[in-house]
Structure 1
């Protein structure tokens, strides 16, 4: 099969130009002029080359080859010039000077926005009667600042308090709210984040052509989530792309098992809907033209119902072109249609160039069009064709998408293809039956209830596969991240395909096989040398880690994680050190920040997270500087709350509780004695963070809020001698994390503290000797402990009891602890 790749070079040129220019739009105008001149020059040369009398090429074959290449170069330059022009025109409209000024001054504005997505939880939830926060995409249409009104059209992401009555903003509705703006990174789809400081007020309802979809979507989601288990929560995502009901545990399992694409409406959903309409039209003996018109109308309604996310937009436009070409009697080919759609959408909206959803949608479709057939033929040599196709389809999509997925998570899914083989056949059934149930719900609720029950079965199966696969050992294999990792993966994938897909009659692919063998041997040897030198410990980093103590010197900065939701307990003394640690962990935003107290070694690094925090829990301010810190967090968009015992909330599937200080108490509320003490519980680990509490306040904590037994304790005050043996005996933690600076002048951690930990069977892990320390849940109640360096732990000064736990050679901490 020959591929028509004439538009490949123009599509690549358009994509690269858009991706580069949206990050620096101020230079788009000059680049556009240069590219138009270059395109004109290339066009002139191309025309001259086609003139018989002035043909510079001595041979006809060479002329044809260079003319074909010249045509691609002309299209590439013209496409790049067109997208550069689009960036130059749209960038000032997306981010006008008024919005930039309001964002940079951190001024409070009265904003009017139009909502364009279903509100979802902003991840960190606060208990004790207060509401959580939601986020949604919107267009900022007007804002007032200091009495001046500006009419704009800027894409923003709104972070707002969840309505106490449970009502949510509807797609297409206009809201007015007061809040602060913060600019996003250049190239982001949204130009700013809008952090609402008070409840929103409805200004206008959605238009009728959106209202029907809002009502239908809400009714279907409510009906589906009333069904039992994960199947009911997952069904709205499978049928209409609404993932608001998917709980964090299920979301994490879907991502771990490489099934998260099933919960996002994509080309597969559009293809299923169109195929169902075309088959129904054929059954009813409708003319082809009427079937195409009916399919287009259904596709339009489906796009409005599921909201036009980038992947939906790509598939809908491609499906429309395919249907139109069929109607004209000239069916288009898949690859040229895909490339044409990519060029058209990027020229229309250049900011799609850096959208992961759009990129994954394009690559998955390309993988299916280019690789699925050849892989099926190769696999069919050893198995039935039907089984070969079932394996080849998810394998082709996985191979095509993996280079982009590496940027999101530098690891390779070990069970992704088997999971898709098991769950994939159930997805079309859940999609079609669920969509029919959604459409019949307002008219025939009884029939819809039966259809919902039928759709629940494949949905529950997919959820069960995801949960089961996520529990398997070694779900992901480590791989280098960033651009080097992407290039290496592309090289390995291409060479492997060249070797595997060559036909049996073809000459042996000697050089690709040789290069691939050398590359694999080199990788193996390199990995072996890394392991031999100790640097290879990076390869054993647990992907499901829950706690990470940053090595930031004499200070505290500990991350607690569940899936893609993060809490940060203190920020250390230096913003550069904290930023480096967060970058290593792949954290760009903090859902919950806890500042235990106001000593510099606990708050000095706050600049690294200003503007990146959703919710901040702080202690009572001791002076004007502390109040100023609160104001800076507020200006950066964080919801700042003073914490005390009794406060509680969730971080994904983890429950957190504040144990200290006591609300309303008048003593021990400031400084080290007033350190906020927080306890996390869930996902197999119970952990407590003691700030800088001293012995007296630790004993008071033990009396006021006994924490009980834990798995991990962040040792108080960097391991000073001012500790309560009673509290550590109560905790009996398996691992004690000591965040401490190397060669500090305080003598931390002291022998007294180390002996106290050893006496209760707690393994002391020090950042000064072992670098970053990471704890993950293991099998059968064990813990997995990973440290950046191979530490030379001193033996305890006193014998440890038999139940003392210690890591084995693999870094696993075992025992009942």
Structure 2
């Protein structure tokens, strides 16, 4: 406790005093020299990505300092930096949020001015990573992006949709450098030493060299170092059969790492590493012994390890995401046989690539097959119904999950409780099966309109016959829109309509285009052209009032916007919102008014021209800027609000919800119901929600 208090006190004093923090409080624009200490990480939607670069500030306004800072850059040239490089930059300093041990967050202007090359060690590590990327060029896209992540933690090419599938399936730990990677490497080296006849004296040295090389190639960042420590402890304990000694070693390692870097104490990644290792040490051995009485030894070992790790991390994952993974144990069990071949062959390819790139490409081919199996498991598991179950997040969610685990333990240990529990489970299973038989699946048969849950944005799909659909807006993230279209089985898009060039409506265009033919794009006649960066090679037309389109039995009529001056980058959000395309979609027995993001002024101008419809897509995610006459004119029995959960804008506004209730419409929200399907029914329109 004394060491912790002293260590944290010195760290806090270092970052909260001195010229850098003073300038951050004043939000000054300064000239800064810094040394990059971490891999640049991209965050945000595709078209709005920023790069987060951890660095150590060494000179600020000609004053020598030595404090950690976080660089926030929009220029893509920052992504090419390697840890240990020294750069000069101009940035606006701000005080970091969330209590991080940083002197400042620096919002960077322009590209970096590189003052020197990286260190020899970092240059060598980067060369290995580059060679591995070249070696996997001949593999399919998905395998090419996943294999470097499994081997050295290089996820620079990883598609966000595929990353989300791995997360849903409980396999995201395979995409980062973890203790499992190190365990595989050490195990392979020890096995090779045994084949070569090296005694116990030399094998540990060979394993140590392999560990050092692995850590250097994967970059000796805190996450890699802690994974190395955790993986080594878990492996040594399991190989030696000394699980009781493994737990004190784990505790000692945790104490040491937290004293060295106090910020680890509030890191979810560190906590997950610790509890996963603890699960392997505490839960896996007795479970393995118990399972071996009922099944073959290798299968018992694999099941015990997968189950122990998943059970251990489940409370933390619930705290973090508010979801409980149902398929993760099975997915990990099925993926496990392919993890070691993929990791080892990928590592071998990285080494061979130094001498002969063509030979390395042969080595990665079987590795690609193993990775392909893992990718298939991830996608299949993620697409299963109830792959994840909503659960209360935060500390309450973790506590209730632990209570549920305790109840399950009692049920399994006490025979009368087992009988009662079995009866309850049979009843629940029967109810679920009955619901699956009697309730419509997803998508429900005969759907006319799907309002996709794309977070804080719009993404709507209108059935156009067969496997074709008209898409109206694409949301903020490609993988969310692609996932919605994949669930609907949409393979062709005869028309993509982008109501206005705001990021939450256009940045997901890549997801619409992924594996699908888009025949034509309709944009607002007043567009600034900002969305054109996403539309390369596509036919683009401008929408004008009175335009009509017929695709199969779907009829589209454009109501707005009226012709006017083109938008510019200086226009405010209201001006751009009011330039949205507004259209009416009709088919036999169904009609919908799709209002884009128009606000009060544009709604008032349109109120007298709005036809009665079955469904109203509420404008601008339910913001408070709504015209009562516009809503009343639609006479919609059903209103749908496309909105993100816990968004920063306060959408939907309470006043808007009250206004909708006064029109006696049924209200559905994507943040509460997920994807919302609207379909023709006897006497009107019915609604099925995916959640």
Fold similarity call, TM over 0.5: yes
Match of 1:219 among 127, 131, 147: 131
> Partner of 1:308: helix, strand, or coil?
coil
Preserved contact between residue 271 and residue 319 of structure 1 (Cα < 8 Å): yes
Alpha-carbon distance, 1:499 to partner: 5.3
Q: Structure 1 543/409 Cα, relative in aligned 2: closer, same or farther at 3 Å? A: farther
- Provide the residue aligned with 2:2 in structure 1: 81
Match of 1:121 in 2: 42
- Counterpart residue number, 2:454: 546
Unpaired stretches in structure 1, ≥5 consecutive residues? 1-79, 503-507, 525-541, 551-557, 567-591, 597-641, 678-690, 703-708, 787-799
Once the two structures are TM-superposed, the CA of residue 320 in structure 1 deviates from its matched residue by 6.1
Match in the other structure for 2:669: 773
Residue aligning to 2:316: 404
Q: Is the 8 A contact 1:112 1:176 kept in 2?
A: yes
Partner of 2:599: 717
Specify the alignment match of 2:121 in structure 1.
Answer: 209
Match in the other structure for 1:14: none
Is 1:139 paired with 2:56?
yes
Out of 348, 358, 382, the residue aligned to residue 436 of structure 1 is 348
Distance 2:147 2:337 in 1: 15
Are the counterparts in 1 of residues 597 and 621 from structure 2 also a CA contact under 8 Å?
A: no
Q: 2:511 aligns to what? A: none
Partner of 2:676: 784
Q: Do 1:115 and 1:173's aligned partners in 2 also have CA atoms closer than 8 Å?
A: yes
The residue aligned with 2:73 is: 159
Quick one: which of 373, 397, 400 aligns to 1:461?
373
Decide which of 736, 742, 761 is 2:617's aligned counterpart.
Answer: 736
Correspondence for 2:632 among 731, 751, 757: 751
C-alpha distance in 2 between matches for 1:668 and 1:448: 52
Deviation at 1:543, TM superposition (A): 14
The one of 294, 307, 319 aligned to 2:219? 307
Matched, 1:367 2:251: no
Aligned partners of 2:667 and 2:409: how far apart in 1?
Answer: 41
1:692 matched to 2:578? The reply is: yes
Contact 2:82 2:122 (C-alpha < 8 Å) held by counterparts: no
Mapped contact 1:409–1:481 kept (Cα < 8 A): yes
Contact 1:712 1:733 in 2 (8 A): no
CA distance in 2, matches of 1:673, 1:315: 47
- Asked if 1:229 corresponds to 2:157, the answer is no
Name the structure 2 match of 1:270: 182
Instruction: Identify which range, 764-773 or 261-270, moves more after superposition.
Output: 764-773
Between the aligned partners of 1:356 and 1:319, the Cα distance in structure 2 is 17
- Report the secondary structure of 1:431's partner residue: helix
Change (3 A) 1:762 1:308: same
For 1:371 and 1:239, how far apart are their aligned partners in 2?
27
Equivalent residue of 2:618, what SS?
Answer: strand
The Cα shift of 1:439 comes to 1.2
Identify unmatched segments of 5+ residues in structure 2. 429-449, 459-472, 482-500, 506-525, 545-559, 585-590, 643-655
Query: Which secondary structure state, in structure 2, belongs to the residue aligned with residue 206 of structure 1?
Result: coil
Q: Deviations over 1:165-193 (max 9, x none)?
A: x9711122111111112232344355533
Corresponding residue number in structure 2 for 1:31:
none
How far apart are the structure 2 equivalents of 1:436 and 1:735? 58
Alignment of 1:414 onto 2:326: yes
Number of positions where the alignment pairs a residue of Structure 1 with one of Structure 2 = 567
* CA–CA distance in structure 2, aligned partners of residues 158 and 405 of structure 1: 27
More off after superposition, 718-727 vs 347-356: 718-727
Distance in 2, matches of 1:274 and 1:743, equals: 60
Residue 733 of structure 1, CA deviation: 11
Matches of 1:593 and 1:158, distance apart in 2: 22
What is the Cα-based RMSD across aligned positions, in Å?
A: 4.9
| Other structure's SS at 2:371 match | helix
How far residue 495 of structure 1 moved from its aligned partner, in angstroms, is 4.4
In the TM superposition, what is the alpha-carbon distance from 1:443 to its structure 2 partner?
1.1
Tell me the secondary structure at the aligned position of residue 425 of structure 1: helix
- Structure-2 separation of matches of 1:452 and 1:250: 20
Structure 1 position 480, deviation (Å) = 1.2
Identify the range of structure 1 (387-396 vs 211-220) with the bigger mean alpha-carbon deviation: 387-396
Partner of 1:174 in structure 2? 86
Preserved CA contact (<8 Å) 1:106 1:181:
yes
Distance in 2 (alpha carbons) for counterparts of 1:358 and 1:549? 33
Matched residue SS, 1:396: helix
Cα distance, 1:242 vs structure 2: 0.9
For residue 742 of structure 1, report the CA deviation from its aligned partner.
11
Task: Please say if residues 168 and 325 of structure 2, whose CA atoms lie closer than 8 Å, have aligned partners that are also in contact.
Answer: yes
CA distance in 2, matches of 1:391, 1:657: 56
Distance 2:300 2:54 in 1: 41
- Cα distance, 1:317 vs structure 2: 3.0
Tell which deviates more after alignment, 343-352 or 108-117.
108-117
Equivalences for 1:50-89 in 2 at 5 Å?
80-89=1-10
Task: Report the Cα offset of residue 87 of structure 1.
Answer: 0.2
The one-character-per-residue Cα deviations of 1:300-319 (angstroms, maximum 9, x if unpaired) are 11111112344432242356
Match of 1:602 in 2: none
Partner of 2:689: 811
Tell me the equivalent position of 1:242: 154
Distance 1:226 1:740 in 2: 44
- What's the CA shift for 1:658? 11
| Cα distance in 1 for residues equivalent to 2:205 and 2:83 | 27
Native 8 Å contact 1:142 1:150 kept in 2: yes
Greater Cα radius of gyration, structure 1 or 2:
1
Q: Is the alpha carbon distance of 1:332 and 1:404 closer, same or farther for their aligned partners in structure 2, counting shifts above 3 Å?
A: closer
Q: Say whether 1:452 aligns with 2:344.
A: no
Counterpart of 1:199 in 2: which secondary structure?
Answer: strand
